């Protein structure tokens, strides 16, 4: 076949572009409708065939092209992935029908951190901001008569947990409706700290809760850096400005270890945050244990937590909803959840996808490196040091 020849069948196919005068003349000769209309030229089946033929023409032209083909791109590669959720506000979605009165379920899941969980497969939500947005939506809804906090979290940052608890207390004072916390699989650390702001706490019979303590994980990366022949040269103005760094004292006594003075300073900070946690529990909960063993950071089963007075009763989400209806005096109230329009969580147990996929792409976890991406002090029960990856960072 000569260069540039595409065959009789391909030549018989018009380009069918709206701006092509030749196509308009052919359509007029065949007495067909204009291309902008819904006539034969705009038939979907015929258009797909035409598009395939156009692709064939391009491929034939490229195969017969004797000159170089140059492709220019103007792209930027970034590791910061944009959020996948729509920018619209949260709206009430009925999950249990009922009367005009409403019980609002506000779900709290995953690590409680004050930054967006950005990445593929994630809604890209900031847990602290989303919690506040849902509280504001419930406060603005005149039909809401009670709120159920459905909590499933190991905890999170000290400041993030404290902000969320304070926002809950402000909501209660402003709205004046009963709040019931429903503890699911795990509600420890900052998650339990948040639950103490509720009027009643209902724990699932197999819940793990408690974890009234503070943790700060420090790692010695000296050996790891040696493998890459990386030796830090640090200039300091202030003797303890680098306390907590994994390379503190690298060239000094106790290389790679936290110096005694710095360890004491960090311990004092942790003790202060621990006292704040204990005070919040003592004010909100009538703890029955006089030895204060519940404050040493241990976690409890639901039955043990009930015996210590950390929760009010055992039950399921339905029991928490019925308790909220009872406290609000609205036995026939419907149940709503405040989610965005594209959120796939549409039931009492559904969880908003907010864990980025990049946290699970690499099977290798290096806790020392990942730990630096979290707040320093945490109200967190951390049975596995790689839990930081749940934040997608």
For 135, left (φ over 0), alpha (ψ -120 to 50), or beta? Answer: alpha
**pLDDT tens for each residue of the chain, 393 residues long:** 444 444 444 444 455 555 455 555 565 555 444 444 444 444 545 545 545 555 555 555 555 544 554 444 444 444 444 444 445 788 889 999 999 999 999 999 988 988 776 555 555 688 999 999 999 999 999 999 999 999 999 999 999 999 999 999 999 999 999 999 999 999 999 999 999 999 999 999 999 999 999 998 877 776 777 777 777 777 778 888 878 777 665 444 444 456 788 889 999 999 999 999 999 999 998 777 666 788 999 999 999 999 999 999 999 999 999 999 999 999 999 999 998 887 776 778 877 765 555 455 555 555 545 555 555 799 999 876 655 555 444
Segments of the chain assigned to CATH 3.90.226.10? 91-216+258-391
**Pick from 193, 198, 194, 163: which is nearest to 179 by CA?**
198
Residue with tokens 């209660």: 172
d(CA 211, CA 153): 11
**Residue 86 contacts by C-beta under 8 Å, 6 or more apart in sequence?**
340, 341, 342
d(CA 36, CA 350): 46
CATH of 91-216+258-391, one of 3.40.140.10, 3.40.50.720, 3.90.226.10, 3.30.200.20: 3.90.226.10
**Pick from 313, 356, 351: which is nearest to 105 by CA?**
351
Residue 2: predicted pLDDT: 44
Residue 107: predicted pLDDT: 93
**Pick from 212, 201, 206, 208: which is nearest to 309 by CA?**
201
Residue 351: predicted pLDDT: 77
Tell me whether residue 393 is exposed, middle or buried, using C-beta atoms within 10 angstroms of its C-beta: 0 to 12, 13 to 18, 19 or more.
Answer: middle
Indicate the pairing of strand 200-203 with strand 179-188: parallel
Output the six-digit token pair for 88: 């619209």
Distance of CA 42 to CAs 34, 52, 107, Å? 9, 15, 48
Global confidence as pTM: 0.71
**Pick from 95, 113, 149, 105: which is nearest to 356 by CA?**
113
Q: Would you give the distance in Å from CA 298 to the centre of its chain?
A: 26
For the chain, helix, strand, coil in percent to 5 are 35, 15, 45
Q: Apex CA 272: angle with CA 268 and CA 275, to 5°?
A: 135
Query: What is the torsional sign of CA 382, 383, 386, 391?
Result: negative
- Greatest C-alpha distance within the chain: 98
Residue 120: predicted pLDDT: 55
**Residue 257 contacts by C-beta under 8 Å, 6 or more apart in sequence?**
220, 248, 249
């Amino acid at each position: 076949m000569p260069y540039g020849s595409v065959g009789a069948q391909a030549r018989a196919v018009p380009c069918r572009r709206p701006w092509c005068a030749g196509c308009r003349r052919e359509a007029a000769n065949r007495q067909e409708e204009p291309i902008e209309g819904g006539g034969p030229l705009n038939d979907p089946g015929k258009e797909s065939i035409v598009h395939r033929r156009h692709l064939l023409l391009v491929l034939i032209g490229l195969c017969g092209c004797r000159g170089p083909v140059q492709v220019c791109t103007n792209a930027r590669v970034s590791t910061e992935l944009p959020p996948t959720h729509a920018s619209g506000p949260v709206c009430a979605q009925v999950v249990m029908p009922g009367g005009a009165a409403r019980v609002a379920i506000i779900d709290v899941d995953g690590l409680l951190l004050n930054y967006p969980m950005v990445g593929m497969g994630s809604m890209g939500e900031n847990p602290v901001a989303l919690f506040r947005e849902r509280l504001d939506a419930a406060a603005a809804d005149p039909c809401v008569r009670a709120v159920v906090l459905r909590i499933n979290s190991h905890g999170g940052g000290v400041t993030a947990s404290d902000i969320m608890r304070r926002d809950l207390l402000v909501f209660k004072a402003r709205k004046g409706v009963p709040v019931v916390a429903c503890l699911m699989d795990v509600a420890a650390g900052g998650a339990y700290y948040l639950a103490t702001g509720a009027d009643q706490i209902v724990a699932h019979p197999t819940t793990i809760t408690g974890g009234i303590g503070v943790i700060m994980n420090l790692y010695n990366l000296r050996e790891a850096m040696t493998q890459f022949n990386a030796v830090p040269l640090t200039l300091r103005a202030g003797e303890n400005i680098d306390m907590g760094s994994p390379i503190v004292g690298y060239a000094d006594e106790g290389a790679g270890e936290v110096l005694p003075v710095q360890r004491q300073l960090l311990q004092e900070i942790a003790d202060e945050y621990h006292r704040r946690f204990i005070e919040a529990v003592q004010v909100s909960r009538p703890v029955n244990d006089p030895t204060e063993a519940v404050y040493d950071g241990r976690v409890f089963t639901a039955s043990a937590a009930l015996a210590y007075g950390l929760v009010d009763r055992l039950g399921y989400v339905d029991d928490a909803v019925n308790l909220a209806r009872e406290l609000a005096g609205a036995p026939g109230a419907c149940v709503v959840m405040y989610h965005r329009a594209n959120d796939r969580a549409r039931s009492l147990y559904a969880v908003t996808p907010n864990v980025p996929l990049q946290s699970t792409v690499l099977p290798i976890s290096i806790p020392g490196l990942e730990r630096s991406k979290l707040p320093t002090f945490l109200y967190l029960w951390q049975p596995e040091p790689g839990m930081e990856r749940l934040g997608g960072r």
